[in-house]
Chains A and B, each alone.
Chain A
Amino acid sequence: MIHIDSVTQRYGATVALDNVSLEIRAGEFFGLLGPNGAGKSTLMSLLSGFRSATDGTIRIGGDAFSPENFAARRRIGLVPQSIALYTDMTADENLSIFGSLAGLSGSALETRTTAVLEAVQLADRRRDPVKNFSGGMQRRLNLAVALLHEPAILLCDEPTVGIDPQSRNAIFDLLEQINRAGTTILYSTHYMEEAERLCSRIGVIDHGRILALGTLEELLQTLPFEEEVQFAAHQAPPALIGTARSMGEVVETNGLCRMRPGAGSRLSDFFRATEELGVPARVFSLKRPGLEEVFLQLTGRTMRDE
């Protein structure tokens, strides 16, 4: 559906995207996971036609994509990171303007307006000025605008930043629903739990490069351990650190030590050793690895370090 081939984007001396190649299949819910400044929004801006890549090519549905290719752009719906709405206008007025620009008119526009407002649960507020909406409601309307013209591809650039859990869940439910209906979704986020919940395939991006690509399971399988032991650094006697290091890899970030058992080591052996050191069991917690650990494994730092 989307073919990104050796795309590089430079801003002066800064390389925002460095030779990125990626393929997103039709009907996929693809997650682009990375910290702030990783290059997610730059990639989104290239795919939405906001700017042209310095190098490389993008093809959508087999057609070369560029800001001048209106036919390709009509297949795309963008949910920008910011609330890109006219806040002095009502929800209806916003949808009318953006719908018209997307090529809708007359009864088709009216039908779609009603449909998307119901989908984002704002039908009863359609005549209210957007500035009177809560942050979550504005986010939902932001999504509704992108869905108006029933795009084949939906680009979501961190669409849930700063909203309440209820609105977030409503957006997730809607995205899953439209994905099931066949819409290809490219979802950029720095929230790992979002990528884990929503995405059928995930690309991990950092410093403008795709570091890893695959399903959640495939990414987790790249880790050399299945579980890790976590403990606070200030509660750990030096002997404990030594023991942990003798049995695997220890990474300390933000005052938290993570011990990942090495090949041939077993957690039961580690706990037996800590018991002998007199370290109480309550100091430790066991955690199954997730995308956070994948990112740490790939970059040597956590996403929250950014």
Chain B
Amino acid sequence: MISTILTLVRKEITGFRKDRTAVMLTFLVPIVLIYIFGNVFGVNRSSSGPSGIPLAIVAPEGSPAINSVVAALAAEEAFSVRRTWTDEAGVQHPFTEERVRADIHDNRLRFALVFPDDALSDTRFGLRVRLLYNPRNDIETQTVMGLLQKNIYTAAPTFLFASLRKSAENAIGVEDTAKFYDNIADAVSTAFKIDREELRSAMKEDANPFAGTGAGGGAEDFMKRIVDIQQEQLTGKEVKNAAATRMVGGWAIMFLLFSVTGSSTSLFDEKKAGIFNRLLSMPVTRAQILWSKFTFNVLMGLAQLLFLFIAGKVLFGIDVTSNLAALVLVCVCAASACTAFGMLLAAVSKSTAAASGLGTFLILTMSAVGGAWFPVSFMPEFLQTVSKLTLVYWAQEGFIAALWAGSGIVEMLPILGVLLGMTAVLNTISLVLFRRGSMFS
């Protein structure tokens, strides 16, 4: 009885070991996804959350207080703080508000912090700053907002103390202000046993006198009332269902990849059935067979994407008609790139099972790395670089540009170019591999 069961178990193990697809799906796919998720949620990093999100700063030069805020933001791992942009000649220019507005509109930037000339005023107590942003990804935007507030509020005591003293000097004169501060220093020194001279010295400088004393930590709630962060959304304001509009592209491209991959691997079924043998005895070439498969899959992918977007309009109110031509163009390019991926999968695989296993692995990995599930900026910077090599990333960029930003076809040409370039490269590799491989022999 037991030996029979053990023999049958041995049979199962032997069969499993020989099924490379099953082994890969069992072990490799979870490991890769766990690694990616681990990086997103900071398991494997010194800090969790996003990293390297470009943040443009528009600020007047020479203000120590503003510089201290910018320095605090620059020290934040989430941000890649930029105060200048480089023109085609390689010359650097300080960001202006006009420039960052254009960059955000064109998706070269998603966040910019503008310190107006009156950010710190002798006649007004507190800080005024303006955040310009493109909330194309909700999770990323929420996180960035939180981090900006945290950093500005943390740095605020420094410049607010200077602002307060400046206001006092304007009101009652330098001498009386000095006396006032000395008296406060005496009282604080007596009450809290802090060195009097050290406190007085600190209060004379542009610094937070309570830093290091433990007396400044509770200032954040207070700061919220006196730091004025004005937010201005530059893109997507007119979008009807923002959440659905942001999500639909990523999910659509993932499902498209699964369907075209399945269709491309049907090449193996036709080979096995001897269909190619018959077709090639007719006036039909290998290239014609492959192009017919490619054309059909592009059309099928296009139909699937358009169906998904129409369903999105019916179910969630996503506006797919106001920029329809651009959306259809992105769908065509995305369907072409996904089909080329499916063809490559068939070219490098030796059976339907192998292609399906490899396809599942690559599609899930590309979807995760490419930003279909969570913001790319939440991954380490090297993974952010890798994500730009995936067609999921660029297809999503296209859908966001068409649906969220309402970009015109000309503005979208770089994205469409990348997708078509990927199509060309993948198809070329596939054709070479099909020529050398065993699909038609």
A82 touches B277 (CB 8 A): yes
By a CB distance below 8 angstroms, the chain B residues around A51 are 441
A48 touches B280 (CB 8 A): yes
Q: Which of A75-123 contact B (CB under 8 A)?
A: 76-78, 80-87, 98, 101-103
Is A20 positioned at the interface, with any CB of B under 8 Å from its CB?
no
> In the assembly, what is the distance between CA of A49 and CA of B283, in Å?
9
> In the assembly, what is the distance between CA of A155 and CA of B275, in Å?
15
> In the assembly, what is the distance between CA of A82 and CA of B279, in Å?
13
Most buried by B among A73, A77, A84: A84
B274 touches A82 (CB 8 A): yes
Interface size band for B = 10 to 19
Is B281 positioned at the interface, with any CB of A under 8 Å from its CB?
yes
Is A145 positioned at the interface, with any CB of B under 8 Å from its CB?
yes
- Choose from B272, B281, B441 the contact partner of A78 (Cβ within 8 Å): B281
> In the assembly, what is the distance between CA of A112 and CA of B283, in Å?
18
Q: How far apart are A14's CB and chain B's nearest CB, in angstroms?
A: 13
B283 touches A81 (CB 8 A): no
B275 touches A86 (CB 8 A): yes
> In the assembly, what is the distance between CA of A145 and CA of B441, in Å?
22
Q: How far apart are B388's CB and chain A's nearest CB, in angstroms?
A: 41
B279 touches A101 (CB 8 A): yes
> In the assembly, what is the distance between CA of A61 and CA of B336, in Å?
43
> In the assembly, what is the distance between CA of A25 and CA of B267, in Å?
37
Q: How far apart are A39's CB and chain B's nearest CB, in angstroms?
A: 15
Q: How far apart are B345's CB and chain A's nearest CB, in angstroms?
A: 22
Is B91 positioned at the interface, with any CB of A under 8 Å from its CB?
no
Is B284 positioned at the interface, with any CB of A under 8 Å from its CB?
yes
Q: How far apart are B281's CB and chain A's nearest CB, in angstroms?
A: 4
By a CB distance below 8 angstroms, the chain B residues around A73 are 281-283
By a CB distance below 8 angstroms, the chain A residues around B284 are 101
Is A21 positioned at the interface, with any CB of B under 8 Å from its CB?
no
Which B residue's beta carbon lies closest to that of A103? B283
Q: How far apart are B210's CB and chain A's nearest CB, in angstroms?
A: 79
Which A residue's beta carbon lies closest to that of B286? A67
B275 touches A50 (CB 8 A): no
> In the assembly, what is the distance between CA of A86 and CA of B441, in Å?
20
> In the assembly, what is the distance between CA of A194 and CA of B140, in Å?
74
A49 touches B281 (CB 8 A): yes
Q: How far apart are A295's CB and chain B's nearest CB, in angstroms?
A: 27
A74 touches B277 (CB 8 A): no
Is B278 positioned at the interface, with any CB of A under 8 Å from its CB?
yes
Q: Which of B251-285 contact A (CB under 8 A)?
A: 272-285
Q: Which of B266-324 contact A (CB under 8 A)?
A: 272-285
> In the assembly, what is the distance between CA of A50 and CA of B280, in Å?
5
A49 touches B280 (CB 8 A): yes
A84 touches B274 (CB 8 A): yes
By a CB distance below 8 angstroms, the chain A residues around B272 are 82
By a CB distance below 8 angstroms, the chain B residues around A85 are 273, 275
By a CB distance below 8 angstroms, the chain A residues around B273 are 82-85, 87
Is A200 positioned at the interface, with any CB of B under 8 Å from its CB?
no
A98 touches B278 (CB 8 A): yes
Q: How far apart are B295's CB and chain A's nearest CB, in angstroms?
A: 15
Q: Which of B213-264 contact A (CB under 8 A)?
A: none
By a CB distance below 8 angstroms, the chain B residues around A82 are 272-274, 277
A101 touches B282 (CB 8 A): yes
* Chain B 85-97 interface 0/1 with A at a Cβ cutoff of 8 Å (1 = within): 0000000000000
B283 touches A102 (CB 8 A): yes
Which A residue's beta carbon lies closest to that of B280? A50
Which A residue's beta carbon lies closest to that of B441? A51
By a CB distance below 8 angstroms, the chain B residues around A74 are 282-283
> In the assembly, what is the distance between CA of A51 and CA of B276, in Å?
11
B278 touches A155 (CB 8 A): no
By a CB distance below 8 angstroms, the chain B residues around A45 are 277
By a CB distance below 8 angstroms, the chain B residues around A48 are 277, 280-281
- Choose from A81, A83, A102 the contact partner of B282 (Cβ within 8 Å): A102
Most buried by A among B274, B277, B279, B282: B282
B278 touches A78 (CB 8 A): yes
By a CB distance below 8 angstroms, the chain B residues around A76 are 281
A84 touches B277 (CB 8 A): yes
By a CB distance below 8 angstroms, the chain A residues around B283 are 70, 73-74, 101-103
Q: How far apart are B197's CB and chain A's nearest CB, in angstroms?
A: 91
Which A residue's beta carbon lies closest to that of B282? A101
Q: How far apart are B266's CB and chain A's nearest CB, in angstroms?
A: 11
Q: Which of A40-62 contact B (CB under 8 A)?
A: 45, 48-51
> In the assembly, what is the distance between CA of A80 and CA of B279, in Å?
10
* Chain A 18-40 interface 0/1 with B at a Cβ cutoff of 8 Å (1 = within): 00000000000000000000000
Known: A81-B274, A82-B274, A83-B274. A50 touches B282 (CB 8 A): no
Q: Which of B179-200 contact A (CB under 8 A)?
A: none
> In the assembly, what is the distance between CA of A155 and CA of B281, in Å?
10
> In the assembly, what is the distance between CA of A83 and CA of B277, in Å?
11
Q: Which of A170-188 contact B (CB under 8 A)?
A: none
Q: How far apart are A6's CB and chain B's nearest CB, in angstroms?
A: 22
Most buried by B among A48, A50, A70: A50
By a CB distance below 8 angstroms, the chain A residues around B278 are 78, 80, 84, 98, 145
Q: How far apart are A148's CB and chain B's nearest CB, in angstroms?
A: 10
Q: How far apart are B373's CB and chain A's nearest CB, in angstroms?
A: 35
> In the assembly, what is the distance between CA of A51 and CA of B440, in Å?
8
By a CB distance below 8 angstroms, the chain B residues around A86 are 275
> In the assembly, what is the distance between CA of A74 and CA of B283, in Å?
7
Q: How far apart are B314's CB and chain A's nearest CB, in angstroms?
A: 31
By a CB distance below 8 angstroms, the chain A residues around B279 are 101
> In the assembly, what is the distance between CA of A117 and CA of B283, in Å?
23
> In the assembly, what is the distance between CA of A67 and CA of B285, in Å?
8
Most buried by A among B281, B284, B441: B281
A67 touches B280 (CB 8 A): yes
> In the assembly, what is the distance between CA of A102 and CA of B281, in Å?
9
> In the assembly, what is the distance between CA of A168 and CA of B262, in Å?
37
By a CB distance below 8 angstroms, the chain A residues around B441 are 51
Which B residue's beta carbon lies closest to that of A47? B281
By a CB distance below 8 angstroms, the chain A residues around B282 are 73-74, 98, 101-102
By a CB distance below 8 angstroms, the chain A residues around B276 are 50
The 7 closest A-B pairs by CB, nearest first: A82-B274, A48-B281, A78-B281, A84-B274, A70-B283, A84-B278, A80-B274
Besides A67-B280, A84-B275, 14 other CB < 8 A contacts? Answer: A48-B281, A50-B277, A73-B282, A77-B281, A78-B277, A80-B278, A82-B273, A83-B274, A87-B273, A98-B282, A101-B279, A101-B284, A103-B283, A145-B278
Question: Can you give 23 contacting A-B residue pairs, CB < 8 Å?
Answer: A48-B280, A48-B281, A50-B277, A74-B283, A78-B277, A80-B274, A80-B277, A81-B274, A83-B273, A84-B273, A84-B274, A84-B275, A84-B277, A85-B273, A85-B275, A86-B275, A87-B273, A98-B282, A101-B283, A102-B282, A102-B283, A103-B283, A155-B281
